Amino acid sequence: MRRSPLLDRPDAVANPVGDLDAAVPARYGDPLREQNALLDGRAATALARDVVAVTGPDRLGWLTSLSSQELTRLTPGDGGAETLLLDAQGHITHALACVDDGTALWLVTEAGRGRELAEFLDSMRFMLRVEVAVREDAAVLAALGEGGGALEEASRAAGAYLATWRDPWPGVVEGGTSYDVGLAREHPGAGYRATWVLVQADAAGTVADAFLAGGNAAADVGGAERRNSMPGVPGRSLAGSLAWEALRVEAGRPRWGREVDARTIPHELDWLRTAVHLNRGCYPGQETIARTLNLGRPPRRLTILQLDGFTGQLPVPGANVRLGERAVGVVTSVARHVDYGPMALSLLRRGVPADAPLTVDIAAEAEEEETDSATGSREEPEAVAGVDAAQEPLVSPEGRAQATPAERPGAGLGRREARGQEVNRRQGAGRGLLR
């Protein structure tokens, strides 16, 4: 993606060079106040994302055949869907927000991943009527709650609107399932309503001004001097990536650039909620999806960690999570939440008891580079201390989903009968019948 023009605003503070969100502002002031503004629907933010567009009459069926979600029913204005591209072993290679406008299928992926995605899709076109293009001229802005509608209105008023994607998390979409068997509580992201608005990249600043002015596109006429003199909607503001990420962590919302490593499968992140359709035909990685759901359990599980805030220190992504002296997981995302203080997302071994007291490694530079710790890198620094952590599981330690059969398929059959049943299952999957 291009460097966001919002970084040119006088109050914008940049993320560290090399950070996943380096192309967008980290904050404009106090990130804790920015969180409150986002929660109230009074703030908008820029997301560090690449955009790829697929055109041609075969685009929806073609991407459905390559990915984990049923996309053929997408229609303009429906808010889109989420899908995953998997390798043959079921590991996640891309996570995509998808929205179709009737002419183009817009795919949103992590910043820096668009060209690789486009090259992969191009290699899979064969004789189908599709065209793939990286859209450097498109940018992604976002808001929560009622702010999503206000942001879309502002982008239309500014003449920069391209498409709107409404994040389905943490709902369970048609054909999906949740890995929360045994977790007797409301999902921590129950109130999370995120909207992403795709806009013309060179007009992102104009859209931001229109949002602040209440959808008045004329806010950009006459240059910066007039914009600064125009009254805006009381309480509206911009928010940086630190505030957005803190609310994502609170909601337990997985992000490819943070929670995914080379061996991650969707079950570990509870991504079958929103990005996988269980009742459709073959696609790469489907066998792992079906086998883990019906016959096995995910080896790791995503959890929120509530961190001890008295030390004033934050771990960095990649820090070890320990049960006693033994490393049992790794931190993937870290944030300071306005209400709950220091928090993290972590991938733990599934067998770690949900009530087990844990500690997270703290590195020597964590005290000196607080901003870096909150946004993080994947490097694992030398640990010099630890911070206590309590779990809020997102994926059940039982490793069972709501759609997992009560009894293992084939139980009670002899070995020969079970083998014949498995052959029939695979043949059925090839005809579009999962299970």
Rounded CA-CA distance 191/140 in Å is: 22
191-195, 290-294, 301-305, 383-387: segment of lowest average pLDDT: 383-387
Find, among 47, 85, 48, the residue nearest to 69 by Cα: 85
Three-state SS for the chain is CCCCHHHHCCCCEECCCCCCCCCCEEECCCHHHHHHHHHCCCEEEEECEEEEEEECCCHHHHHHHHCCCCCCCCCCCCCCEEEEEECCCCCEEEEEEEEECCCEEEEEEECCCHHHHHHHHHHCCCCCCCEEEECCCEEEEEEECCHHHHHHHHHHHCCCEEEEEECCCCCCCCCCCCCCCCCCCCCCCCCCCEEEEEEEHHHHHHHHHHHHCCCCHHHHCCHHHHHHHCCCCCCCEEECHHHHHHHHHHCCCCCHHHHCCCCCCHHHHCCCCCCCCCCCCCCCCHHHHHHHHHCCCCCEEEEEEEECCCCCCCCCCCCEEEECCEEEEEEEEEEEECCCEEEEEEEEECCCCCCCCEEEEEEHHHCCCHHHHHHCCCCCCCEEEEEEEEEEECCCCCCCCCCCCCCCCCCCCCHHHHHHHHHHHHHHHHCCCCC
pLDDT attached to residue 18: 94
| Residue partners of 62: CB distance under 8 A and separation at least 6 | 54, 124, 125, 128, 130
Question: What is the chain's alpha carbon radius of gyration, rounded to the nearest angstrom?
Answer: 22
Under 8 Å between Cβ of 242 and 35? no
pLDDT of residue 226: 37
| Whole-Å CA distances, 42 to 61, 154, 336, 413 | 38, 13, 20, 59
**Distance, CA of 245 to CA of 333 (rounded, Å):** 8
What pLDDT, on the 0 to 100 scale, is given for residue 144?
A: 98
The letter for the amino acid at 199 is V
Q: What would the pLDDT profile of 115-148 be if each residue is shown by its tens digit?
A: 999 999 999 998 899 999 999 999 999 999 999 9
- The per-residue pLDDT for range 196-252, each reduced to its tens digit, is 999 999 999 999 999 999 866 544 443 444 343 344 577 899 999 999 999 999 999
Mean pLDDT check: name the lowest of 112-116, 168-172, 295-299, 427-431.
427-431
Q: Tell me how crowded residue 280 is: count the other CB atoms within 10 A of its CB.
A: 20
Q: pLDDT band at residue 281, thresholds of 50, 70 and 90?
A: confident
Q: Which of 376, 397, 394 is nearest to 251 (CA)?
A: 394
Strand partners, 308: none
Phi, psi angles (nearest 5°) of residue 140: -120, 125
Which conformational region is residue 77 in: left (phi greater than 0), alpha (psi within -120 to 50 degrees), or beta? left
| Count of C-beta atoms within a 10 Å radius of residue 118 | 20
Contact 375, 26 (CB under 8 A): yes
pLDDT in tens, 349-403: 999 999 999 999 998 654 444 444 343 344 555 666 899 999 999 999 999 999 9
How many other C-beta atoms are found inside a 10 Å radius of the C-beta of residue 124?
Answer: 15
Beta bridge partners of 343: 306, 335
Q: Do the Cβ atoms of 395 and 329 come closer than 8 Å?
A: no
Biggest CA pair distance of the chain? 80
Distance CA 229, CA 213 (A): 11
**CA dist., res. 401 & res. 390, Å (int):** 23
pLDDT category of residue 64 using cuts at 50, 70 and 90:
very high
Count Cβ atoms below 10 Å from residue 50 Cβ, excluding itself: 25
Q: What are residue 163's DSSP bridge partners?
A: 198
Whole-model pTM: value is: 0.88
In one-letter notation, the amino acid at residue 181 is V
